[in-house]
Amino acid sequence: MTSFLKNDCFLRALLRQPVDKTPVWMMRQAGRYLPEYRATRAKAGDFMTLCKTPELACEVTLQPLDRYPLDAAILFSDILTIPDAMGLGLYFSEGEGPVFNHPLRNHAAIEALGIPDPHQDLRYVIDAVALIRQELNGRVPLIGFSGSPWTLATYMVEGGSTKTFRYIKGLLFDQPHSLHLLLNKLAQSVILYLNAQIAAGAQAVMIFDTWGGVLTTRDYEAFSLQYMQQIVTGLQREHNGQRIPIILFTKGGNEWLEQIAATGCDAVGLDWQLPIGHARQRIGQQVALQGNMDPCVLYASPARIREEVADILASYGNGTGHIFNLGHGIHPQINTENVSAFIQAVNELSPAYHIA
């Protein structure tokens, strides 16, 4: 299927084709837990310069692959590139995370938003994808990504991170028509953005719905899932004769696995709060499953990490369709040796589940 790749295990598992072992990668695998990342980040001067300089984004994307035997690379970028391109004035405040100078607080501001052209307004991302793909030289597949419309809207309306969801939920309940207008613009933007990443060389794409789990079932279906469905429908599913798998990940979305799988995505990402075997019983005949070790297990000893990997592999059981990952992004304080123990455990223990 993917003869140009030296290692296509990740793509094969996404499409539920036979593999020799369970592929493994980590959300935020290129990040602050790596000393080499911190050195490159210091060289860049600030986070947005790191994101907007294709050569530096390429450098940090490859760093975890040079250190660990991972089965996929993921583009180094940020989910908030689209809102930034829409003119909201994104910056990163030390200790506070992302902040927007111009949060969206009324219908007129939402109506005035344009749809970014990825080849102009987000050219640095597309150039980074092309450069990373070139530098990988077929080593492993490259994952492109975007935030979900609901998650992007949450940051754009709140003006940054939040624990109360005061403004976004106020908009949802009081002015749903305004929120739907925003979400529709974001869905169109994500379709253009991810299709441009695919054209530039992304071999799979992932949509991160970080805040979907804060919604009720009714509101999740209306304000998050239907827009991810719109994106799945609008994405290019084949490029250069190869299938482009789509992974949807809603943190806190375990109640809605059936609805997520029904969008037509190829894989559903799981957080750590549901045994993966239960998820397989529910939707494993429709889609591949990605996950789902609690990231905090990586604070434990290598022996305990290996036990947890063994438990998750046993929960999933025999056969393909599992991509081993954490249930959310790796934490910055994790010891790099513990990551090595984690990946080694997956690579050593998983082949037993793939014997024909």
Band of pLDDT at residue 270, cut at 50, 70 and 90:
very high
Residues that constitute the known binding site for substrate? 28-32, 78, 155, 210, 328
Q: Of residues 155, 193, 220, 316, which has the active-site annotation?
A: 155
- Cα–Cα distance, 297 to 119 (Å, whole number): 40
pLDDT score for 2: 43
Check: CATH 2.40.70.10 for 34-65+72-236? no
Cβ atoms < 10 Å from Cβ of 257 = 21
Residues that constitute the known binding site? 28-32, 78, 155, 210, 328
pLDDT score for 93: 75
Q: Of residues 12, 28, 133, 306, which has the active-site annotation?
A: 28
Q: Of residues 32, 105, 243, 304, which has the active-site annotation?
A: 32
38 is an active site residue: no
Q: Is the pLDDT of residue 3 over 60?
A: no
Band of pLDDT at residue 1, cut at 50, 70 and 90:
very low
User: SS3 of 100, please?
Assistant: strand
DSSP classification of residue 268 = E
41 is an active site residue: yes
- H/E stretch holding 280: helix 276-283
Give mean pLDDT, residues 214-224. 98
**Percentage, residues of the chain above pLDDT 70:** 99
32 is an active site residue: yes
Nearest 5°: CA angle at 122, between 234 and 271?
Answer: 60
Q: Of residues 12, 16, 41, 280, which has the active-site annotation?
A: 41
Give mean pLDDT, residues 219-227. 98
Burial grade of 134 (CB within 10 A; 0-12, 13-18, 19 or more): exposed
pLDDT score for 222: 98
What percentage of the chain's residues is helix, strand, coil (to nearest 5)?
50, 15, 35
User: SS3 of 172, please?
Assistant: helix
Q: Of residues 8, 71, 78, 127, which has the active-site annotation?
A: 78
Band of pLDDT at residue 92, cut at 50, 70 and 90:
confident
pLDDT, tens only, 179-204 = 999 999 999 999 999 999 999 999 99
Q: Is the pLDDT of residue 90 over 60?
A: yes
Output phi, psi for 258, to 5 deg.
Answer: -65, -40
Per-residue 3-state assignment (H helix, E strand, C coil) for 19-65? CCCCCECCCCCCCCCCHHHHHHHHHHCCHHHHHHCHHHHHHHHHHHH
Dihedral of CA atoms 60, 64, 70, 71 in degrees, nearest 10, equals 0
123 is an active site residue: no
Cβ atoms < 10 Å from Cβ of 216 = 10
Q: Is the pLDDT of residue 97 over 90?
A: no
Per-residue 3-state assignment (H helix, E strand, C coil) for 179-246? HHHHHHHHHHHHHHHHHHHHHHCCCEEEEEECCHHHCCHHHHHHHHHHHHHHHHHHCCCEECCEECCE
Domain definitions of the chain by residue range = 1-29+273-356, 34-65+72-236
Band of pLDDT at residue 356, cut at 50, 70 and 90:
confident
pLDDT, tens only, 31-45 = 999 999 999 999 999
81 close to 106: Cβ distance less than 8 angstroms: no
- 35 CA to centre of own chain: 22
pLDDT, tens only, 311-352 = 999 999 999 999 999 999 999 999 999 999 999 999 999 999
155 is an active site residue: yes
